[in-house]
Amino acid sequence: MPMNRSVPRPPFPLPPAPLWIAVVQARSSPGDVAANARTAAAHITRAAEGGASLVVLPELFLPSYDLPAIAAAPDRHVVPTTPRGTVPDGRLDPVREAAAGAGVLVLIGAAVGHPGRSPKIATLAADPTGHTSVVYCKQHLWGEEAAFFTPGHRGVSLDLDGWILGLGICYDASFPEHGRAAALDGAHAYVCPSAFAAGRQTRAEIYHRARALENTMFSVMANPVGRHGAYAFTGGSSVYSPVGQVITKATRPRERVLIACLAPQRLADARAHLRMPLECDVPAGPKPHRITYRLGTSPARPGAGARQRPGASGQAAPEAETVFPRVVDEGDAMGGE
Per-residue pLDDT of the chain (337 residues; tens, 9 = 90+): 344 444 456 668 999 999 999 999 999 999 999 999 999 999 999 999 999 999 999 999 999 999 999 999 999 999 999 989 999 999 999 999 999 999 999 999 999 997 778 899 999 999 999 999 999 999 999 989 999 999 999 999 999 999 999 999 999 999 999 999 999 999 999 999 999 998 887 899 999 999 999 999 999 999 999 988 888 999 999 999 999 999 999 999 999 999 999 999 999 999 999 888 777 776 666 789 999 999 964 433 334 433 333 333 333 333 333 332 222 222 223 344 5
How many other C-beta atoms are found inside a 10 Å radius of the C-beta of residue 289? 14
What is the distance between the alpha carbons of residues 225 and 195, in angstroms, rounded to a whole number?
A: 9
What is the distance between the alpha carbons of residues 328 and 310, in angstroms, rounded to a whole number?
A: 33
pLDDT for 300 equals 36
pLDDT for 325 equals 27
On whether the CB atoms of residues 285 and 177 are closer than 8 A, the answer is yes
Residues contacting 48, CB < 8 A, separation 6+: 22, 55, 98, 102, 103, 104, 301, 302, 303, 304
Angle at 34 between CA 224 and CA 166, to 5 degrees: 45
What is the distance between the alpha carbons of residues 264 and 188, in angstroms, rounded to a whole number?
A: 9
59 by DSSP, 3-state: which?
Answer: coil
pLDDT for 200 equals 80
pLDDT for 201 equals 79
Please, is 282 exposed, middle or buried when counting C-beta atoms within 10 Å of its C-beta (0-12, 13-18, 19+)?
A: middle
pLDDT for 282 equals 66
Query: Residue type for 278, please?
Result: L
Closest to 28 in 3D by CA, of 57, 71, 53, 67: 57
CA atoms within 13 A on the CB side of 64: 26
pLDDT for 284 equals 61
Query: Which domains, and CATH codes, for the chain?
Result: 19-296 (3.60.110.10)
Cα-based torsion angle of the residue sequence 102, 107, 108, 112 in order, rounded to the nearest 10 degrees: 120
pLDDT for 337 equals 53
pTM of the model: 0.87
Closest to 176 in 3D by CA, of 228, 215, 219: 215
pLDDT for 43 equals 98
Cα-based torsion angle of the residue sequence 109, 167, 192, 131 in order, rounded to the nearest 10 degrees: -30
pLDDT for 10 equals 61
Query: Residue type for 330, please?
Result: E
Please, is 29 exposed, middle or buried when counting C-beta atoms within 10 Å of its C-beta (0-12, 13-18, 19+)?
A: middle
